[in-house]
Amino acid sequence: MTAATKLPLLLQQLEQQMRQCSLWGALPPSDQALASVEPFAIDSLQPEEWLQWIFIVKINAMMDAQMSLPKGFAIHPYLGEVWKNEADKAELLVTILSIDEVCA
């Protein structure tokens, strides 16, 4: 499987796992919060908000537009640190690591 076929499946899995962990929000953050220029919007969003409202949305939009997918990013180091002591996030972190690997 190519990154273009694996990534949509991983994003679906990520959403499902976020829902299972009660991390999936019903309402988006404010436009101001979403406009942050800080990495992971760390100054305005919770990690799960960044995943849902910035990362997943942008990657899905790129795939829908058949754009080249980003390469060489790593989101697991940050999210792994954030959730390292939360056992219920273990599967979620495995999926996030898989996303990093597919986009390496």
CATH class of 3-22+48-102: mainly alpha
| Sequence-distant contacts of 90-97: CB under 8 A, at least 24 apart | 91/17, 92/14, 92/17, 92/18, 92/21, 92/23, 95/10, 95/13, 95/14, 95/17, 96/14
> Of how many residues is the chain composed?
104
- Residues 6 or more apart whose CB falls under 8 angstroms from that of 11 comprise 56, 59, 60, 99
Mean pLDDT rounded to a whole number for the chain: 95
The pLDDT, as a whole number, for residue 101 is 96
Model pLDDT for residues 50-84, shown as the tens digit of each residue: 999 999 999 999 999 999 988 999 999 999 999 99
